[in-house]
Structure 1
């Protein structure tokens, strides 16, 4: 395996602390490395050192001759006077970039909704971020350093980026180093993980799931991390094994000892108990949306309507203890739906019915709960709240909850205004929970949190006995803390029994029906781009309704697919168990089982696509 870049004995020190001390790492052809660690431990600094943007105090970074390096910072460096087109492709002739399949894929995946002739200065922060990422990806680099590339991307955009990076280089070539808190993305693209902590870089084999597995084993063997932290990692590992067993097939080391750790670990949530507790606090009625529609006025002209229907005839009866994730593209109406539930918006038609004992709280992105206490110390802020809180069947003080969320004793005397973004986010959540709401709405709660703190927050939410509604582009979080998902699509609310995968399939199908419309997964020219057609093509009509013999045949086929999917699920589970018990040193045998597993999963994907097509026709 050819060497691309190496760092030897790196030492970096700031006036108040040492960031790295004698760190040596290397990047070889084919490496796909995810970087994790607590906020402030040096993840972004590491990328700057390796990319050559920052010089170490001691040590050196060397790269193979002619190796090209590309870097995405957390803050873009785009010239605000340029147009979007000039910022992405520069002075390259149109026929050159338009004939490059990779460039077209990048443009369709990231900037399809941004006008080609728009000025960078007029873009929003999220649009600038996507333009900066597109400008990097259209170039041909041997190594890519990406610092939080999933920021400002929705679930479709994250899925597109993962697929793009996996096929960007031929197998065994190119190098990728990515810092992100998106754990699904880490698992999808990484074959190795670097944990940055305590001035060092500790390597692990595999993606996030494999990293958790090895970390639990390391903690057990070395007994160097306190029991509370170890128990949290065990709980995370238990969920990974139950919820996504395929992810743990990546590591090539003996896993029996690690599995013993979770043999008696209960599920993350006792769903029955939580629903019983929620019912006792809420009663039978929570929030019911009954034939609700929301129409907003817009500026119209002679040919366009002067209103926009955001939600149409929504009926949703939210139950006590329900834990629901809400998916949808930006602008689909997710925030409107949350505002209806919270009572900050009245419907245009229909009605919203709330139970008498309902107390709703919203974890927003603006940190508004902290505005009045910015000058107060953390200890003073929590002292004004309740003295105890029930979590996981145990009474805990606010101080213990703060410790559970990663605060140290010394930080209790810190003014709120001096906390980091992630610390403020955790304090905001704690203050909301101490007010004892029984319905919690969370709007993009993962901002500013590292992977450890996300796990701590999820652990706290596991024991919270209320109704939880989550809107997030973090797929891992949605699958981890919610039990069901809905999608806001075409002004309607659609239940997703198949979860996020079903949502992505529906979006792909929707793009096909719209003549290959601007879905992040399909890829097409950005709005206003030279060579792009003036319209996205005639919109495809809905699948024709079925009747008579065709209807009966479709119903029979759906039933047959359901039965086949059930059998395939059992076969996949059996293969996972066989793989987990197999001798991991027998690479030939492991590869054979993995191929069989991949074949089953491919058949499942094909059947699910056919099931969705038939379901659409039957619904019509």
Structure 2
């Protein structure tokens, strides 16, 4: 069943077409990712498909009887509403029934009360509030009575994500759903969407997320759509094959063009009409032989300032706000070549540590001693700060007119901007006209232009396209200075860091020697060992009034032992089905069957793990 059909779609920005003649479809049950470079039109395409912006050409058809949800980059809420009020003003079937039930209760209409009570029972609506709070909790929102106007931009987006998930649309469109989420939340969302039967169309730069969730990739490249049936790893393989075939065909066309060009030159003008078909074929061949427009690639090659022996020492530092300790007695001595990733849930103090290192705030206890030769470059999560009419080139010239390159050359700010994919016509445009990804790229440029030898990156992957991320990763892999990265992009962390600062709560920062996946595997093993470890019970002489501790009955003991066997088996089946879904299934019935089973497994695991915890108290 086709949920979405797009025919000859186009979007015109006035001075140029952002994209045109796009034709594709999405079937029920498919989980499709759209990838492409910054400025290629991904978010604009999402807005057109969701009906937020009309197309300038072509037709978008969405099946009438289905419900569509859309998570866009800038959610718009009433700032006076609380978090729960936003979720309960959703226009789904359950919230409508809840409102009608409450209205009937107020009026005392017994017949209406009975009717809507039956509706809520049929829809499992009595547990709706618990479900809302559970999803909000998973997304890191715990203060349900807080007003929307008091939330940060990232928190607002998480509330909006909760809203679209709770509405359970048939077709869900997501624009960068992992931005502003911590790693634990991303992994939960990944699992939730993998198990869901919802049809998905999403834009994301998270390559692990693409691999786990999506079974089809579409690439928007130079106003064309290229389609790949499979996950991200499959896409990379097939894209390389396509480009290799295209290069071979192009070479053949160019060789043939040489022969046809000789034939054209030999033809007397008077006889041209006798071979008109061949002349027309020659012009077609000439156009093909020109090949596609060469795709500009970002170039990163900056000089790094010399670094002395003393880099930086964090000595017994503590920091708290409003009675809450975020960093407690943390010490670390940085060494040359350190490549450290910082991970942990949102709100535990990751950005606080960066602010202490950059001396934006002072510690409550301890001190940070910085070496004389250390030059910090700080890429902030908050984004680029600029005045409305400031031009791109003006923002770079604030830092430097000439930039030192790794090979010793000095190039002008304009030439440097060109290397960063800002051509001359864009350089003299206002920054306000840049896309979100282009602004992030400009922000990165402004940090690197000062040639830092201690580079701090706070969520650098937000809004950057995959091609830019690959180039940035290549540059950072060869970077000679110290690197400190806060990121929710697991692929980015695994490729670049060999050391992890893990914020585990209550101000404690674990200093772990390994990348994110190493740390996560270790933490999972620790959690399993903790479950297996026998409980140490202090033996006390019971008093006359002491109650005897309840023990498991024979039936409960058998149930507990069965759960210890069942839970690992269900986990294994869940992992196998997740891999099957992301491996390129094309048959809708099979996709629906596997997705339904995944949902059952997720539900069963939650129930069995909760029961295991209950019984373990008395085991």
Aligned counterparts of 2:150 and 2:431: Cα–Cα separation in 1: 33
Query: 1:338 and 2:387 equivalent?
Result: no
The counterpart of 2:203, out of the listed 154, 179, 185, is 179
Mapped contact 2:38–2:438 kept (Cα < 8 A): no
Aligned length: 465
Query: 1:469 and 2:484 equivalent?
Result: yes
Partner of 1:285: 310
Mapped contact 2:313–2:332 kept (Cα < 8 A): yes
Go from structure 1 to structure 2 and tell me whether the alpha carbon gap of 1:410 and 1:79 turns closer, same or farther (over 3 Å shift): closer
Aligned counterparts of 1:483 and 1:214: Cα–Cα separation in 2: 31
Query: 1:119 and 2:119 equivalent?
Result: no
Query: 1:349 and 2:365 equivalent?
Result: yes
Mapped contact 1:12–1:56 kept (Cα < 8 A): yes
Go from structure 1 to structure 2 and tell me whether the alpha carbon gap of 1:321 and 1:39 turns closer, same or farther (over 3 Å shift): same
Query: 1:453 and 2:468 equivalent?
Result: yes
Mapped contact 2:181–2:346 kept (Cα < 8 A): no
Partner of 2:335: 319
Superposition pairs for residues 15-26 of structure 1, below 5 Å?
A: 15-26=14-25
Go from structure 1 to structure 2 and tell me whether the alpha carbon gap of 1:361 and 1:206 turns closer, same or farther (over 3 Å shift): same
Query: 1:374 and 2:399 equivalent?
Result: no
Mapped contact 1:111–1:134 kept (Cα < 8 A): no
Query: 1:203 and 2:227 equivalent?
Result: yes
Partner of 1:190: 214
Mapped contact 1:292–1:311 kept (Cα < 8 A): yes
TM-score computed with the length of structure 1 as normaliser: 0.65
How much does 1:129 deviate?
Answer: 1.6
Mapped contact 1:7–1:26 kept (Cα < 8 A): yes
Superposition pairs for residues 209-608 of structure 1, below 5 Å?
A: 209-223=233-247, 281-296=306-321, 298=322, 307-366=323-382, 374-375=390-391, 377=393, 381=397, 384-390=400-406, 395=409, 397=411, 401-416=416-431, 418-490=433-505, 491-497=507-513, 499-501=515-517
Partner of 1:133: 161
Mapped contact 1:379–1:412 kept (Cα < 8 A): no
Partner of 1:605: none
SS in 2 for 1:130: helix
How much does 1:427 deviate?
Answer: 3.0
1:82-132: per-residue Cα shift (whole Å, max 9, x none)? Answer: 4322321444549844536965652332254132x3333443322222221
How much does 1:178 deviate?
Answer: 0.4
Go from structure 1 to structure 2 and tell me whether the alpha carbon gap of 1:512 and 1:329 turns closer, same or farther (over 3 Å shift): farther
SS in 2 for 1:486: strand
Mapped contact 2:388–2:432 kept (Cα < 8 A): no
Go from structure 1 to structure 2 and tell me whether the alpha carbon gap of 1:107 and 1:503 turns closer, same or farther (over 3 Å shift): farther
Name stretches of at least 5 consecutive residues in structure 1 with no aligned partner.
233-267, 299-306, 516-540, 547-583, 585-620
Partner of 2:576: none
Go from structure 1 to structure 2 and tell me whether the alpha carbon gap of 1:77 and 1:506 turns closer, same or farther (over 3 Å shift): farther
SS in 1 for 2:136: helix
Mapped contact 1:377–1:416 kept (Cα < 8 A): no
How much does 1:146 deviate?
Answer: 0.9
Aligned counterparts of 1:199 and 1:475: Cα–Cα separation in 2: 30
SS in 2 for 1:440: strand
Query: 1:148 and 2:176 equivalent?
Result: yes
Superposition pairs for residues 28-67 of structure 1, below 5 Å?
A: 28-64=27-63, 66-67=65-66
How much does 1:469 deviate?
Answer: 0.6
How much does 1:326 deviate?
Answer: 0.6
Partner of 2:251: none
TM-score computed with the length of structure 2 as normaliser: 0.65
Partner of 1:109: 138
How much does 1:464 deviate?
Answer: 2.5
Partner of 1:617: none
How much does 1:207 deviate?
Answer: 3.1
Aligned counterparts of 1:384 and 1:308: Cα–Cα separation in 2: 41
Mapped contact 2:2–2:63 kept (Cα < 8 A): yes
Mapped contact 2:494–2:517 kept (Cα < 8 A): no
Aligned counterparts of 1:45 and 1:424: Cα–Cα separation in 2: 16
1:212-262: per-residue Cα shift (whole Å, max 9, x none)? Answer: 333333333324578896899xxxxxxxxxxxxxxxxxxxxxxxxxxxxxx
Go from structure 1 to structure 2 and tell me whether the alpha carbon gap of 1:431 and 1:136 turns closer, same or farther (over 3 Å shift): closer
How much does 1:485 deviate?
Answer: 1.9
1:179-229: per-residue Cα shift (whole Å, max 9, x none)? Answer: 123333222211111112322222123333333333333333324578896
